[in-house]
């Protein structure tokens, strides 16, 4: 276990350095390539209820994807993290403006306020068709290196209990986040597909 943790820590450091070396323009360019691949993806086209992360600087930018979800009349759910545990909910948002007015957490991520209980939680209603997954690193068989808090693994576990079953998962990645092999344990859930710019 300790060896696995150390391997993950070392890999996180290495990937963070690779991504940090990318210029802002290059990050934006790769983000657009990945977004356009997603827009043509049959799973995205057929999905109505989509969960998407609000990207941080070291992740592919999801702004265009969020705009497209609303433009296509799909339902957009975003994560609300509870930083004191590994609990996360996916809450419905109504528009790009709605998202832009959300408060920021201590991690500088925008999310609905703690006392905002007016929003639909995906699993308390119709479930999700598709989850767009963040992560620090990925390998091509679907293993994912998260930030170590277990939010998504725990949430996917809850999804599998929903009558609709586990949604399809697509990770969005910069090429610099791809690894030969990501070390995982039994709690790490595999991703169905990784989208990146194939060179």
Asked if 146 contacts 135 with a C-beta cutoff of 8 angstroms, the reply is yes
Q: How many other CB atoms are found less than 10 A from the CB of residue 41? A: 16
Q: Which residues are annotated as a binding site?
A: 8-12, 54, 59, 144-152
pLDDT at position 44 over 90 = yes
Determine the Cα–Cα distance for residues 127 and 91; give it in Å rounded to an integer.
Answer: 11
The beta-carbon contacts of 65-74 under 8 Å, at least 24 apart in sequence, are 65/35, 65/38, 65/132, 65/172, 66/96, 66/99, 67/96, 68/35, 68/39, 70/95, 70/96, 74/47, 74/48, 74/49, 74/50
- What Rg do the C-alpha atoms of the chain give, in angstroms? 16
pLDDT given at position 118: 87
Query: pLDDT tens across 169-196, in order?
Result: 999 999 999 999 999 988 788 999 999 9
In this prediction the pTM is 0.95
Q: Which residues are annotated as a binding site for ATP?
A: 8-12, 144-152
Which SS3 state, helix, strand or coil, does residue 87 take? coil
- Beta pairing class for 168-172 and 130-133: parallel
Query: pLDDT tens across 153-164, in order?
Result: 999 999 999 999
Determine the Cα–Cα distance for residues 91 and 76; give it in Å rounded to an integer.
Answer: 8
Q: Which residues are annotated as a binding site for substrate?
A: 54, 59
Determine the Cα–Cα distance for residues 19 and 159; give it in Å rounded to an integer.
Answer: 30
Query: pLDDT tens across 112-142, in order?
Result: 988 788 899 999 999 999 999 999 999 999 9
pLDDT given at position 149: 87
Dihedral of alpha carbons 170, 61, 137, 153, sign: negative
Structural domains of the chain ordered from first start: 2-195 (3.40.50.10420)
Counting residues of the chain whose pLDDT is more than 70, the rounded percentage is 100
């Amino acid at each position: 276990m300790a060896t696995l943790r150390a391997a993950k820590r070392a890999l996180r450091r290495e990937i963070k350095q690779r991504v940090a070396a990318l210029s802002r323009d290059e990050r934006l360019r790769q983000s657009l390539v990945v977004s356009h691949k997603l827009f043509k993806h049959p799973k995205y086209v057929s999905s109505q209820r989509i969960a998407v992360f609000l990207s941080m600087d070291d992740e592919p930018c999801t702004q265009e994807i969020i705009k497209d979800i609303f433009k296509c009349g799909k339902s957009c759910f975003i994560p609300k993290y509870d930083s004191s545990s590994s609990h996360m909910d996916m809450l419905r948002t109504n528009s790009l403006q709605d998202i832009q007015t959300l408060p920021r957490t201590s991690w500088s991520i925008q999310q609905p306020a703690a006392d905002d209980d007016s929003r639909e939680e995906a699993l308390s209603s119709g479930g999700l068709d598709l989850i767009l997954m963040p992560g620090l690193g990925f390998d091509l068989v679907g293993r994912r290196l998260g930030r170590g808090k277990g939010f998504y693994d725990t949430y996917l576990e809850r999804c599998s209990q929903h009558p609709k079953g586990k949604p399809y998962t697509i990770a969005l990645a910069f090429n610099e986040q791809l690894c030969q092999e990501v070390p995982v344990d039994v709690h790490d859930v595999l991703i169905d597909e990784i989208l990146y710019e194939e060179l």
